[in-house]
Structure 1
Amino acid sequence: MSDLETRPPTAEAATGLKRNAIGTGGIAFLVISAAAPLTVMAGVAPVAIGIGGIGAPMGYVIAGAVLLIFAISFMAITKHVKAAGGFYTYIALAMGKTVGLASAIVAIVSYNCLQIGVYGLFAVQTQAMLHTLFGLDVPWPVVALVAIAAVWFLGYRGIDVGAKVLGVLLVAETAILAVMGVGILAKGGASGISFASFSPEHAFTPGVLAILAICFAAFMGFESTVLYRREARNPDRSVPRATYIAVGFMSVFYAFIVWTVVQAYGDGGVVEAAGELSDGMFFATINHYVGPWAEVVMYVLIVTSVYASQLAFHNAINRYVYMLAKDGVLPAFLAKTHPKYKSPHRAGQIQTILAAVVILICAVVGADPYKQLLIWVNTPGIFGIVGLQGLVSVAAFLYLRRNPAAVTNRLLIPLSVASAVLLFGVAVLIAVNIELLTFADDVTNIILLLVAPVVFLAGLLIARKLRTTRPAVYARIGSFETHES
């Protein structure tokens, strides 16, 4: 037996990143905070209700069910392939380095779209908070740029500080949403409690299928569990457990909160209310059913919630860039870690500059921070990540077929096939219904949908060029270690 099998390398030796010995709860906090429950609910759930009607809660249940199927086959690979680079290393292992590198580039672009777009939501919600609480009118670009600087600072300090902050914010934002939900139910909603949201005639309508992009966006922190694998205690046990906890919690909690908001306005009035109140819907709801003090708390927590989401995405992007630099694909200076904090600080600096440039461009051209910066910039990110999850499902199927020892349950291979079909089906539904999400013209929608495929194609071409011109670098793409248990 080799030294690699008997003495696994430390996180520092393997990746250069600081090892923080994060347990199951810590990783679950990270992945849930990456989605930021209050951000998802107050920021975009009104859009989901406006499009999906009273069946909107089922959209989150469907998304959670699909991702749970995905998680089962995905976790089966993670027990045998010790990868620190996220989805792309698993794709590279099963589908080849060319597809793996293309997937990594799509992941970096998609996560950047998600993070940078959410600065629009942060700006809108923070503007509202400052105006409501202090009577201040601060330009949204100023708010966004301050947020970028704050995210950079905590990311610069490393995961140890980040995990603690994310955990505290997660508990606080989950608690305020739970208080709102309980308050609505305690007062019987607008006209009594109804379960019509979960009936087939409302749960599986074209409107609900159309909001799947919004619902899947609520789970975009999913990959955090494997990105922090090196920094986890007993990862073979804690990572799968944290993944199932995170997906299960988010699915049930999101569906519950959206369902209670439907009760707050009644089956016949909630769609109209969502259209009229828009991103202020949750604040008006908690004010009415809980009290003005709760609205103030929610305003404060929405700011910290978005901040938590941004920090988690920032860290995920940094680790992708860092691992590609370690593999030799990106410039070597991006593979340097901070001598004290062991964070991939140089990758973080590049990501921070990119976010600031996009915000400044949007400010100059007069873009709407919610409709254009948030929705338009987020859409390619959602489409790209769902597509990557589909590719990972294919990779799981191929790996399990080639390695019978990894098939610990006969359902693993069928589940990997089902996961691929479902996720690519969701990607098709997103593409078909994109105008309901973006409210943009056809040309804009086509451009938004082409971002991920064009980036993927460019990644394939880059990989093929590396194979012929820099074979040593090509050989390092998708660095991983295998271990048959």
Structure 2
Amino acid sequence: MSVTTPEERTPSTAATLRSGSLGTADIAFFVVSAAAPLTVMAGVAPLAILLGGIGAPAGYLIAGITLAVFAVGFTTMSRHVKSGGAFYAYITRGLGRPVGIGAALLALIGYNGMEIGVYGLLGSATRDTVHALFGTDVPWLPIALAGLLVIGYGGYRSVDFGAKVLGVLLVAETGILLLLAGGVLVKGGAHGLSGASFAPDHVLVSGTAVVLAFAFAAFTGFESTVIYRREARDPERTVPRATYVAVGFLGLFYAFVAWVVIQAFGDQQVIAAAAKDPGGLFFSAITTFVGGWAADLMHVFIVTSVLASLLAFHNAINRYTLALAEEGVLPKALGRIHPRHRSPYVAGIAQTALGAVVVTGFWAAGADPYGQLLLWVNTPGMIGLFVLQLLAAVAVPCYFRRVAHQEGALRTVVAPVVATVLLATAIGLVVTHIDLFTGASDAVNSVLIGLAPAVFVVGLGLAWWLRRKRPEVYAAFADEPAGQSTHQP
């Protein structure tokens, strides 16, 4: 059987990704947009407050601190591992090729799950927005399919085009939340401003575990900064900076906005308000403190927030697919780069087609776009990315034990070990509260939880097959920066 060697994977005359296109802010836009701050706040924070109490803002800070600790070892390793394969390359270097190949498959499935499920949210959010603004009911499938085409086009264009689009959309969604915050702060809240949300007696309660589960989920995708290192300017500096900017911004912004909406109703009244209408909590607050016109804008910006998240994940998936095609693990055609836009356009077309199949399949089965397409597809993807974060944290000290380096023990041992413990705790919180994420039966939840480990085991099987049938591909897996040794700008 013929094999593809690293030198044969892509001809030296082939187009390459557009190097030097992205600065710190550009990469941060991709990462923060993937998290969809407005959607997370308006759609999920009310549930965190309802189930966890007024200490919910502190939960977002705790999650942010945990992921900042993870980022210490993660970004330190990014200076030594140049691959565009991000997670799987790091894990391969630290834990070996079988685990790395398992991680690669899990990353591919995980990121696809995180994106494709969100087309259900796009359909339901747009439907709700149209109904709220015009009183008209529209079907969700055409909206989702139109979104697939729009996002596919965004991924087809150059990466700097995507960064500019995400910059505009991110300013819109954060701006409307800051407008709400300004209204609440200027008017002094419903009953004055209070710092009780950060008091120990409100943070150290049983409900905090639920808040932390929601909070960790709100950061999903932040680690994708390293996927863009081949297109970054001065990646040794840009990628770590973008990672810390994204984590710091999300942690502080989530905590601040959650605190603001509590002040809009009052410490004693907000839980009752969230119980009465969790989906309307933010809309009610901005109507009261800014005006109905701002609530209408918020409806619109939730749709654009979802689109921004979809485009960010679509770009990340395309680059993972590109890296694996260049590795020889996926078909070579998926590694083609557009000669003018310098984008992994074939990977993007394949991802769009996969999304269309899944979305249409759920519609044909009569599934609810939010309760089933979003939650059932998104949740295993989220768990898969959490597992990848955990494996990457474990890989950091293992890698630095085997190579000569000048990095300090705090970055290479202490921070990764602490992050491993904290991330394992986060996974435990999410899994034990999985019903809050899915609203599904125990049987369905068991399947959703089991998908990530099942995919990883399939990946181990793929590693075994590659070692026997395609030894050159197996031996070269994640050894060199994907494509950089053979591509010329």
The TM-score range, normalised by the shorter chain, is: over 0.9
In 1, distance between residues paired with 2:275 and 2:372?
17
In 2, distance between residues paired with 1:92 and 1:373?
32
2:167 corresponds to: 167
- Report the aligned-residue RMSD: 1.9
Which secondary structure does the structure 2 equivalent of 1:405 belong to? Answer: coil
**Which segment drifts farther, 314-323 or 37-46?**
37-46
Instruction: Letter of the 2:209 partner, please give it.
Output: L
Q: Cα deviation per residue 1:290-348 (whole Å; 9 max; x = unaligned)? A: 10111122122111111110000001111111111111111111111122212111111
Evaluate the alpha carbon distance shift between residue 52 and residue 257 of structure 1 in structure 2; reply closer, same or farther with a 3 A threshold: same
In 2, distance between residues paired with 1:21 and 1:357?
33
Q: Cα deviation per residue 1:267-304 (whole Å; 9 max; x = unaligned)? A: 23322322332323222221111101111221221111
Q: Which residues of 2 match residues 88-103 of structure 1 at below 5 A?
A: 88-103=88-103
2:213–2:433: 8 Å Cα contact kept in structure 1? no
TM-score calculated relative to the size of structure 2: 0.92
Instruction: Letter of the 1:68 partner, please give it.
Output: A
2:48 corresponds to: 48
Alpha-carbon shift at residue 435 of structure 1 (Å): 2.0
**Which segment drifts farther, 120-129 or 271-280?**
271-280
1:392 corresponds to: 392
Which secondary structure does the structure 2 equivalent of 1:136 belong to? Answer: coil
In 1, distance between residues paired with 2:26 and 2:467?
39
1:52–1:211: 8 Å Cα contact kept in structure 2? yes
1:467 corresponds to: 467
Alpha-carbon shift at residue 20 of structure 1 (Å): 4.5
1:227 corresponds to: 227
**Which segment drifts farther, 234-243 or 67-76?**
234-243
In 2, distance between residues paired with 1:371 and 1:214?
16
Evaluate the alpha carbon distance shift between residue 411 and residue 477 of structure 1 in structure 2; reply closer, same or farther with a 3 A threshold: closer
Q: Cα deviation per residue 1:136-171 (whole Å; 9 max; x = unaligned)? A: 321111211111111011111121210000011111
Alpha-carbon shift at residue 230 of structure 1 (Å): 1.0
In 2, distance between residues paired with 1:205 and 1:370?
30
2:421 corresponds to: 421
Instruction: Letter of the 2:257 partner, please give it.
Output: I
Alpha-carbon shift at residue 206 of structure 1 (Å): 2.8
Which secondary structure does the structure 1 equivalent of 2:17 belong to? Answer: coil
1:383 corresponds to: 383
Instruction: Letter of the 2:443 partner, please give it.
Output: V
In 2, distance between residues paired with 1:268 and 1:39?
25
Structure 2 residue runs without a partner (length 5+)? 1-11, 483-489
Structure 1 residue runs without a partner (length 5+)? 1-11
Q: Which residues of 2 match residues 334-483 of structure 1 at below 5 A?
A: 334-408=334-408, 410=410, 412-481=412-481
1:327–1:479: 8 Å Cα contact kept in structure 2? no
Instruction: Letter of the 2:70 partner, please give it.
Output: F
1:89–1:480: 8 Å Cα contact kept in structure 2? no
2:274 corresponds to: 274
In 2, distance between residues paired with 1:119 and 1:111?
13
1:187 corresponds to: 187
In 2, distance between residues paired with 1:18 and 1:283?
41
Evaluate the alpha carbon distance shift between residue 300 and residue 114 of structure 1 in structure 2; reply closer, same or farther with a 3 A threshold: same
Which secondary structure does the structure 1 equivalent of 2:67 belong to? Answer: helix
Q: Cα deviation per residue 1:41-69 (whole Å; 9 max; x = unaligned)? A: 12222222222221211221111011000
Q: Which residues of 2 match residues 291-302 of structure 1 at below 5 A?
A: 291-302=291-302
Which secondary structure does the structure 1 equivalent of 2:252 belong to? Answer: helix
Instruction: Letter of the 1:426 partner, please give it.
Output: A
Q: Cα deviation per residue 1:395-419 (whole Å; 9 max; x = unaligned)? A: 1111122235242354531111111
In 2, distance between residues paired with 1:134 and 1:112?
33
Which secondary structure does the structure 1 equivalent of 2:221 belong to? Answer: helix
**Which segment drifts farther, 430-439 or 384-393?**
430-439
Evaluate the alpha carbon distance shift between residue 417 and residue 477 of structure 1 in structure 2; reply closer, same or farther with a 3 A threshold: same
Alpha-carbon shift at residue 370 of structure 1 (Å): 2.1
2:19 corresponds to: 19
In 1, distance between residues paired with 2:229 and 2:75?
12
Which secondary structure does the structure 1 equivalent of 2:54 belong to? Answer: helix
Which secondary structure does the structure 2 equivalent of 1:197 belong to? Answer: helix
Q: Cα deviation per residue 1:19-45 (whole Å; 9 max; x = unaligned)? A: 242111211222111212112212222
Which secondary structure does the structure 2 equivalent of 1:307 belong to? Answer: helix
Say whether 1:209 aligns with 2:202: no
Alpha-carbon shift at residue 190 of structure 1 (Å): 2.3
Evaluate the alpha carbon distance shift between residue 411 and residue 76 of structure 1 in structure 2; reply closer, same or farther with a 3 A threshold: closer
**Which segment drifts farther, 42-51 or 439-448?**
42-51
In 2, distance between residues paired with 1:186 and 1:115?
38
Alpha-carbon shift at residue 479 of structure 1 (Å): 4.1
Which secondary structure does the structure 2 equivalent of 1:81 belong to? Answer: coil
In 2, distance between residues paired with 1:57 and 1:245?
19
1:8 corresponds to: none
Evaluate the alpha carbon distance shift between residue 353 and residue 272 of structure 1 in structure 2; reply closer, same or farther with a 3 A threshold: farther
2:176 corresponds to: 176
Instruction: Give the share of equivalent positions with the same residue, in percent.
Output: 51
In 2, distance between residues paired with 1:402 and 1:158?
38
**Which segment drifts farther, 246-255 or 53-62?**
53-62
1:19–1:230: 8 Å Cα contact kept in structure 2? yes
2:119–2:144: 8 Å Cα contact kept in structure 1? yes
Instruction: Letter of the 1:204 partner, please give it.
Output: L
2:109 corresponds to: 109
Alpha-carbon shift at residue 14 of structure 1 (Å): 10
Which secondary structure does the structure 2 equivalent of 1:82 belong to? Answer: coil
In 2, distance between residues paired with 1:222 and 1:269?
33
In 2, distance between residues paired with 1:104 and 1:118?
22
Instruction: Letter of the 1:271 partner, please give it.
Output: I
Evaluate the alpha carbon distance shift between residue 154 and residue 255 of structure 1 in structure 2; reply closer, same or farther with a 3 A threshold: same
Aligned length: 471
Which secondary structure does the structure 2 equivalent of 1:228 belong to? Answer: helix
1:328–1:476: 8 Å Cα contact kept in structure 2? no
Instruction: Letter of the 1:240 partner, please give it.
Output: P
Alpha-carbon shift at residue 92 of structure 1 (Å): 0.7
2:73–2:411: 8 Å Cα contact kept in structure 1? no
1:260 corresponds to: 260
Instruction: Letter of the 1:342 partner, please give it.
Output: R
